[in-house]
Amino acid sequence: MTTAEQRAFARMIECEEDGLYYARYFFKQRTGGKMTIAPHHKVIQQTLDRRVINGEIQRQINNVQPGYTKTELATINMMGDRLALNYRARFMHLSYSQNLALLDSSTACGMIKSQAYQSMWPIARLCGGLNTEEAFMRRQLPGRLPGSEPDTWSQAGRVR
């Protein structure tokens, strides 16, 4: 095994064992910039790694201001990280915003299809052929006025 192959293997192992390393590595791959780690990132990621993954917590609420990368850790990276370890994993992504759900799923699929991800875990077929615009079609419920209730969205449409 060459030195480059050893580094790639070590990076893959580190990504699988440390969710925060995974987040930092793929943030840099996607954006070209470094992800600055703050104390709240460590708390969120430790909770995800230790308590959500093992089923101790089934509904986690990250009460942090907008723009503090909660979505980056708990949605986008969680999907990619878990699919790397179990390619049959499924996720129900719920959001108040159809646009946010579309953006997050599209970002996760882009990460999964990336060369960096595929070199570690070749499972691109998961997003192959998926048209996220079609997967998030908005459906009007019979007898309801648009905007009369808060919207929650999943890939299958509105959730009540």
Residue-wise pLDDT tens digits, 103-153:
888 888 889 889 999 999 987 555 655 454 444 334 434 444 444 344 455
- Helices assigned H by DSSP within 32-160: 39-47, 70-71, 78-85, 98-113, 115-120, 132-135
pTM of the model as a whole: 0.76
Element (H, E) at 8: helix 3-17
Q: 66 or 131: whose pLDDT is higher?
A: 66
Q: What is the pLDDT of residues 29-54, one digit of tens each?
A: 999 999 999 999 999 999 988 888 88
Q: How many residues does the structure list for the chain?
A: 160
Q: 124 or 20: whose pLDDT is higher?
A: 20
CA nearest 117: which of 12, 2, 13, 18? 12
